[in-house]
Chains A and B, each alone.
Chain A
Amino acid sequence: GQQLNQSPQSMFIQEGEDVSMNCTSSSIFNTWLWYKQDPGEGPVLLIALYKAGELTSNGRLTAQFGITRKDSFLNISASIPSDVGIYFCAGSVNSGGYQKVTFGTGTKLQVIP
């Protein structure tokens, strides 16, 4: 099956610093999604990207859909303590009329106040 490699696996940063994480795949996806998961809760959608090359922002978050359609990155600017959590990328392809989503391995973010 399709696999998404996400890096880094974890990171510790100081409050106020910018953060960057990325996701790569050997397969092409037609949509990239970024989710955040807080402990004990379900993934919450942050950003959805639908077109190769697309750059989309949501507040302090910016994500891009790679030109090759095999990668995506997420940047968080000026991190704050509530940014702590696990960030998952996800790619989807059309599978018989619906979109099949594959999740990345996650990046665990810790923010030091």
Chain B
Amino acid sequence: EPEVTQTPSHQVTQMGQEVILRCVPISNHLYFYWYRQILGQKVEFLVSFYNNEISEKSEIFDDQFSVERPDGSNFTLKIRSTKLEDSAMYFCASSGSPGGATDTQYFGPGTRLTVL
């Protein structure tokens, strides 16, 4: 069964450093998302991406964040200058196979980001 994959599984970085989190969505999906989950809390929407542009972003997704689909398979989340409060699990999700329900989002296993 196709699945969303994410790398790395765990990223440790120093405050102020840039990080890039990588995702490979399900291959025929059209909509891509990033979510964040601070330890012990609920999953929070960050951004959605469709047709090579951001469809919507939350108030969490400030100028320090950016997303990119550099090729036909990868979808990345960049945090330019990490802060301590960016420490969280980051989940990528995808949805929208042609002819399918666009709202069934499938999640990757997540990247645990630890900012020291």
Contacts and interface: CB of A to CB of B under 8 A. Distances in A.
Given A99-B95, A99-B102, A44 B42 contact: no
A43 B91 CA distance: 9
Interface residues of B, number: 28
Interface residues of A, number: 27
B104 interface: yes
Of the candidates A1, A92, A104, the one having the most CB atoms from chain B within 10 angstroms of its own CB is A92
Interface in B1-32: 4, 6, 31
Interface stretch (B48-56, B61-69, B70-78): B48-56
B43 interface: yes
Contact of A101 (B45, B110, B112): B45
Contacts of B109: 41-42
Nearest to A106: B42
Contacts of B112: 40
B48 A98 contact: yes
A48 B101 contact: yes
Given A42-B109, A42-B110, A105-B42, A100 B104 contact: no
Interface of A: 1, 31, 33, 35, 37, 40-45, 48, 50, 88, 92, 95-106
